[in-house]
């Protein structure tokens, strides 16, 4: 579990640097996908899913 969390942190920092410095290239997209897969396997995944569903319902309820 410790290896998984440190991997998530490392990939998260790399993704942040890619977006801030270089833009998104195909190799960067692969790192972003790996970050997503590792993040999905952590204990925080249910909280992220609930937050995404909450945001989707909030945006779905906006009347223009």
Q: Which residue segment(s) compose the domain that 54 sits in? A: 2-60
Q: What is the pLDDT of residues 3-16, one digit of tens each?
A: 556 767 777 788 78
pLDDT at 30: 79
pLDDT at 1: 47
Going by pLDDT thresholds of 50, 70 and 90, the confidence category of residue 19 is confident
Domain count within the chain: 1
Q: What is the pLDDT of residues 21-58, one digit of tens each?
A: 777 777 777 777 777 777 777 777 788 778 878 878 88
Burial string for 4-38 (b: 16+ CB within 10 Å, else e) reads eeebbeebeeebeebeeeeeeeeebeebbeebeeb
């Amino acid at each position: 579990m410790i290896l998984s969390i440190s991997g998530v942190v490392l990939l998260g920092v790399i993704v942040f640097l890619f977006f801030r410095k270089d833009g998104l290239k195909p190799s960067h997209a692969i790192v972003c996908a790996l970050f997503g897969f590792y993040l999905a396997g952590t204990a925080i995944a249910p909280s992220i899913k609930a937050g995404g569903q909450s945001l989707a319902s909030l945006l779905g309820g906006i009347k223009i």
